[in-house]
Amino acid sequence: MLKLLCIFLSVATLSYAQICPSGWSPFNSKCLIVKTEKKAWFTAEEYCNQAAPKGHLTSISSAFENAKISALAQASGTSASQLWIGGTDLMQNGSYSWFDGQPLLYANWEQGQPDSSKHCVSSQAAGTGKWRTEVCNVQNGYICEAPMQVPSCPADWIYFPATQACYRVFMGASSWNDANSKCLGNGGNLTSVHSDVENNFIGALTSDYVDDDWYHNQTFIGMSDPQQNLQWSWSDGSATNYFNWAPGEPNGQHGNEFCVEMYSDVGTNRPDMQYHWNDTPCDETMRSFVCKCAPTWGA
């Protein structure tokens, strides 16, 4: 059963469709993101280059796309009245085109624009959606585009589309700290869990489908209570916005239970606990633990 699951997952990893990384919005075959921090046009273009493979300040090729960008700008809550887009006449003075090389076939200039004494194009995206030219070192918000991307995980890690993250199961930890440092040493963190879908995935990944209801034969996850004051947190720094405690947990038994395990294998003895969580001593040995890292994206 476990073997079949692995074969299925490794085949699936090779055939992922192109999608937008988290935080980016799909539009036709590209991804868009509105950045609210203010930068000069060139610095914004550099940021877009680095934010995703083949990223650029966005081109806009239709009124429909211009409206989509306005909606994203409004949703971003930006306070910038102007947002940089990829239009410029730096390649040919007086003739505006997109910096990624496409001709400017659609335009939505303000009255009296473009002013060809200025070389970079911004849009009043969160307001009228009209464009103007500005001096390129003005500080504006900006909008990046990138082609849709394919996620990939390091070798031996599994990509889970529902969370856009990579996971790997390791066997044998002498403590929660040992598990956490092994994850760090492999480029990840002990996994955080933020939804039922993610919790069930981690459960399925770690279960050996045998009734191993011994508390050492379960799975460390990244939750702990480092201050020992019932403030549970994730070691990867993500929001503590989801819990899946087993009935009666966390119970702080013996006053030393400050780390969290998932019951991967309580099986038929305690089906009510399967894949739920238990607070447990941090210095306990554990059969398995799950690390998580972000995929890399390629265009």
Ligand X SMILES: *[C@@H]1O[C@H](CO)[C@@H](O)[C@H](O)[C@H]1NC(C)=O
Interface residues toward ligand X, by CB under 6 A:
93-94, 116-117, 188-189, 212, 214, 217, 235-237, 287, 293-294
Q: How far is the CB of 65 from ligand X (least distance, A)?
A: 28
Can you spell out the DSSP letters for 129-191?
A: --EEEE-TTS-EEEEEEEE-BEEE--TT-EEETTTTEEEEEEEEESSHHHHHHHHHHTTSEEP
Most distant CA pair in the chain, distance:
77
Q: Smallest gap, in angstroms, from Cβ of residue 68 to ligand X?
A: 31
Residue 286 beta carbon to ligand X: minimum distance, rounded to whole angstroms: 11
CB of 217 to ligand X, least distance (A): 4
Closest CB 79 distance from ligand X, rounded Å: 28
* Cα distances (angstroms) measured from residue 246 to each of 39, 274, 289: 49, 8, 18
Q: Closest separation between CB of residue 121 and ligand X, Å? A: 15
Alpha-helical regions (H) of the chain? 2-14, 41-51, 63-76, 176-185, 196-206
Nearest to 122 by CA among 94, 159, 157, 81: 81
What is the nearest approach in angstroms of ligand X to the Cβ of residue 216?
7
Q: Are 212 and 270 in contact (CB under 8 A)?
A: no
- Our CB check for ligand X shows the closer of 76 and 189 to be 189
Residue 1, SS3 per DSSP: coil
Q: Which is nearer to ligand X, 10 or 269 (CB)?
A: 269
Q: Compare residues 61 and 113 and give the one whose CB is closer to ligand X.
A: 113
Closest C-alpha to 192, from 222, 168, 213:
222
If the CB atoms of residues 47 and 215 are measured against ligand X, the closer one turns out to be 215
- Closer residue to ligand X in complex, CB, 46/208: 208
8 A C-beta contact, residue 93 and residue 156: no
Sequence-distant (6+) residues with CB within 8 A of 255 are none
Please identify, using beta-carbon distances, which residue of 15 and 92 lies nearer to ligand X: 92
Q: Which two three-digit tokens encode residue 4?
A: 């079949």
Q: Rg of the chain over CA atoms, in angstroms? A: 25
Residue 50 or residue 93: which is nearer to ligand X going by CB? 93
Whose Cβ is closer to ligand X: residue 123's or residue 217's? Answer: 217
CB of 234 to ligand X, least distance (A): 8
